[in-house]
Structure 1
Amino acid sequence: MKISLIQKYNVPGPRYTSYPTVPYWDESGFTHEIWLQTLKKSFQESNNKEGISLYIHLPFCESLCTFCGCNKRITKNHNVENPYIDAVLKEWTLYRDILGKKPKIKEIHLGGGTPTFFSIESLEKLINGIFSLAEKAEGYEFSFEGHPNNTTLAHLQKLYDLGFRRVSFGVQDYSEKVQKAIHRIQPFHNVAKVTFWAKEIGYTSIGHDIIFGLPFQEVQDVVDTIEKTNSLQPDRLAFYSYAHVPWIKGNGQRGFHDEDIPKDYAKRKLYEVGKELLFENEYYEIGMDHFALKSDSLYHSFEDKKLHRNFMGYSSSKTQLMIGLGVSSISDSWYSFAQNVKTLEEYYKVLESDELPLYRGHLLSTEDLIIRKHILNLMCQFETSWEDSANYVSEIPEIVFQLKEMENDGLLIIGDNKIIVTEEGKPYVRNICMAFDLRLKRKAPETALFSMTV
């Protein structure tokens, strides 16, 4: 049965860090003026109530990992740090002037690239610069992504002193063969060292990112990686499916052949084996591809039905407004999305003109907002409802009809005005969300856009 379900539902599909997904943004209906209007509206509605989030993209890496689909610039020249920090702070100053009063920042996430490429002096300059124009919201949560090979004790201590309490380390896999294929040579003792340092300093949430479906990866590799991970007891885990999209990301994902990558049932078995080991060690499944100990805030937010998902991934609290700073960052006012330019050269050039470095976006329609709620509910709580008429669209009967086959396959339960994803259906939540994705259904992609769903 599992083989047939995987073969049946393993199709290209979005990961739904947003709705509409980026390929379906209506860029023709978007302007800078629209972005500013919705930005101010959302700020007025949410700043005093919940605060805002900042995602700051730090794009530099010293070497290229061939599994990575992020926007990055490979360099060993650390003279790039200061100009980039200055540019990000200038962008933040532009936003601060537009908002008109001090924002209360609930969340900050430093992503990349490799945030720990930057020196502690550069990171301190960045965070202090942010808070020269802002204040911390009550219950704030600041996080960053650390590379185990270059995260130092000084990095961890300085960021802790600046208010960071959550860190995630990219592990991927401990097999030497797999590491060589993805150009990410990273010994276990490096991960253990930074994990223990973070625990000793007092970080309250330490995460490890693991990937299944990597080239040459076998069941024993996943078992070994999970067992080593369990020995370190991180508070939360992201157990991601490898997204092989070389047609989008260029040569960075062409360091191996397609036949080297596990597919279909072989790939899914890697996940099932890993998941079972995590369950045995008292990790609980949270949303899609995430696991946490009962002591972690992500578990509590899932239990309290407060889990949120945005361009930064899963979050234990929701903010209506998220501003993205840095090259290629995406901002979300809830009513519209806006993305920055993708090259460093253009990013610097636009900021020199004292303008926000935006190049595209999308204004959400009333229908978009409703569908977005349903997809968020499914991604975060494995259920959704349209009992409230405000959550109803005329296509609901058609969506329900399309989901009948998934119900027959045991993937979900269709009730009166609601859908509940079953345990068997959790691996297929992206497929279930696709039934609600009206933009995708109205215009099926003519070329490869998305990774496989399973």
Structure 2
Amino acid sequence: MDHQLLQKYNVPGPRYTSYPTVPYWQSTPPSPEQWGELVNDTFSVTNKMQGISLYIHIPFCESLCTYCGCNTRITVNHAVEQPYMEAVLKEWELYKAVLGSEKPRIRELHLGGGTPTFFSPENLKSMISRLLEGCEIHEQAEFGFEAHPGNTTDEHLMALYEVGFRRISIGVQDFNPIVLEIINRHQTYDQVKHLTEKAREIGYTSVNYDVVYGLPQQKVCSMTQTIYKVIQLRPDRIAFYSYAHVPWIKPGQRRFTEEDLPDSMKKLAIYETCRGALEMAGYENLGMDHFALKTDGLFKAFEEKRLHRNFMGYTDTQTSLLIGLGVSAISDAWWGYVQNEKGVEAYYKRLALRELPFFRGHVLNREDLILRRHIQHLMCNFETTWSHTQEVSQAFYQGLARLEEMEKDGLVIIEPYHLRVTESGRNFVRNVCMAFDARLWENVPQTNLFSQTV
């Protein structure tokens, strides 16, 4: 990558798991009645064919990984499991009342955190079994969970397999002990290897590794060694994320300073070197930060232009209704979003009042819907199309005009009714999407909100 382009475009920007992005949601959330209508309307239209997606956020971790940007609650007290499980199930009962008499068809179910395997195998199995009561399982259902190698046991794997899970996402981050020490991540290569092999032995059909570049103390040589170890274990897909340094949001990241982080050029060198190694090993680069073998469903979705991006990242499953359960979980009813209370106590209090426990949200207007479509296509397919009679707005044309400089730099190609991100522009796809972010341009942030785009 050209150094001048890196310096020019490496600015703070959203990761576009939604549009509008959360900081630009309207100041007043939808009323409970309005949100219920949005959920019910989308469910009524899409449940029979698409099914729905469920995300369950389990915030608990026994120790804080200092690089983490997720909403977590640090504790070693496992007595928190039962009341939290009951709260999640109570929230789901409230949603089922909104959905009405038609049985939900579960197309996708994902456990995230925090550390989902903080819960005992017995509690996880019980929670999922009870949650699925009265539901239908879509014939193409995909159930997946995030696994910490340091505490995910064979019993966890078996318990979740028995209730339908076939995908596992293992948090590798890095194998270098110096990096793992500074980010307070306690795990070993042998644990990752055992977890991978045991999952496959049991019958899991898709293994993902989360690997993060740009972490403190990372070097090109050490990260290359990590990637070669990853390649040897042959996961089906790899989420190769750029570390988001946002200490003003996550104080745990203040355990290290910017001086501990690789600068932009070193970070890029880490990425480019590792990307080359992955591609040589048969992994296809797709989306913004994902790699997959050609046999994996994520690659097939990319090839068929079915790749989807939501609050869980990239997925080969697209539903119009995503219901998030648990603290801080975000729901997407296509026409609107809401996010749950971030604190466990506040979440419990709202449920005790039999209220859906969201505290903020956004109802999309026509312009939002148009821009979301184009941003979604750019993030997933590196291109978007339109016609002169529909799927455009004044804000869309303003976005096209903002890309003039990027077109001169060879990062995008603009043709009649077609915009394509070039190979050299893929590293800057977030910048391309920012050109269409009307809400960001209307209210340029005066303080830190986002991580760097590259």
TM-score over 0.5 (shorter chain)? yes
One-letter identity of the residue aligned with 1:234 = P
Q: Distance in 1 between matches of 2:277 and 2:85?
A: 42
* DSSP 3-state at the match of 1:15: coil
Aligned to 1:43: 43
CA contact (8 A) 2:351 2:357 kept: yes
One-letter identity of the residue aligned with 2:298 = L
How much does 1:30 deviate? 2.5
Question: Are residue 210 (structure 1) and residue 211 (structure 2) matched?
Answer: yes
Q: Distance in 2 between matches of 1:182 and 1:64?
A: 9
Q: Distance in 2 between matches of 1:108 and 1:27?
A: 30
Aligned to 1:267: 267
How much does 1:370 deviate? 0.5
How much does 1:388 deviate? 6.2
Aligned to 1:71: 71
CA contact (8 A) 2:29 2:338 kept: no
One-letter identity of the residue aligned with 1:427 = N
Q: How does 1:75-114 map to 2 (within 5 A)?
A: 75-100=75-100, 101-114=102-115
Change (3 A) 1:41 1:414: same
Q: Distance in 1 between matches of 2:369 and 2:49?
A: 21
One-letter identity of the residue aligned with 1:181 = I
* DSSP 3-state at the match of 1:18: coil
Aligned to 1:395: 395
Q: How does 1:161-240 map to 2 (within 5 A)?
A: 161-240=162-241
Q: Distance in 2 between matches of 1:27 and 1:33?
A: 17
CA contact (8 A) 2:65 2:184 kept: yes
How much does 1:27 deviate? 2.7
CA contact (8 A) 2:398 2:436 kept: no
How much does 1:400 deviate? 1.9
Q: Using the aligned pairs only, state the percent identity.
A: 55
Q: Distance in 1 between matches of 2:443 and 2:79?
A: 46
How much does 1:141 deviate? 0.4
Question: Are residue 8 (structure 1) and residue 8 (structure 2) matched?
Answer: yes
Q: Distance in 2 between matches of 1:37 and 1:46?
A: 14
Q: Distance in 2 between matches of 1:344 and 1:304?
A: 41
* DSSP 3-state at the match of 2:403: helix
CA contact (8 A) 2:56 2:325 kept: yes
CA contact (8 A) 1:30 1:363 kept: yes
Q: Distance in 2 between matches of 1:434 and 1:392?
A: 16
Q: Distance in 2 between matches of 1:99 and 1:396?
A: 34
Aligned to 2:312: 312
CA contact (8 A) 2:339 2:358 kept: yes
* DSSP 3-state at the match of 2:28: helix
Question: Are residue 370 (structure 1) and residue 334 (structure 2) matched?
Answer: no
Deviates more, 1:386-395 or 1:151-160: 386-395
One-letter identity of the residue aligned with 1:121 = E
TM-score computed with the length of structure 2 as normaliser = 0.98
CA contact (8 A) 1:213 1:261 kept: yes
Q: Distance in 2 between matches of 1:152 and 1:397?
A: 53
Q: Distance in 1 between matches of 2:86 and 2:28?
A: 32
Aligned length: 453
Query: How big is each residue's C-alpha offset from its partner over 1:347-374, in whole Å with a ceiling of 9 and x where there is no partner?
Result: 1111111111111100000100000000
TM-score computed with the length of structure 1 as normaliser = 0.98
Aligned to 2:55: 55
One-letter identity of the residue aligned with 2:389 = S
Aligned to 1:300: 300
How much does 1:266 deviate? 1.2
One-letter identity of the residue aligned with 1:108 = L
One-letter identity of the residue aligned with 1:404 = E
* DSSP 3-state at the match of 1:389: coil
* DSSP 3-state at the match of 1:246: coil
- Runs of 4 or more, structure 1, over 6 Å off, are none
CA contact (8 A) 1:52 1:322 kept: yes
How much does 1:29 deviate? 5.6
How much does 1:257 deviate? 1.3
Question: Are residue 33 (structure 1) and residue 51 (structure 2) matched?
Answer: no
* DSSP 3-state at the match of 2:98: helix
Question: Are residue 412 (structure 1) and residue 408 (structure 2) matched?
Answer: no
One-letter identity of the residue aligned with 1:421 = V
CA contact (8 A) 1:93 1:133 kept: no
One-letter identity of the residue aligned with 1:394 = Q
Change (3 A) 1:119 1:385: same
One-letter identity of the residue aligned with 2:438 = L
Deviates more, 1:125-134 or 1:86-95: 125-134
Deviates more, 1:289-298 or 1:404-413: 404-413
Change (3 A) 1:171 1:388: farther
How much does 1:398 deviate? 2.5
Change (3 A) 1:284 1:320: same
CA contact (8 A) 2:367 2:395 kept: no
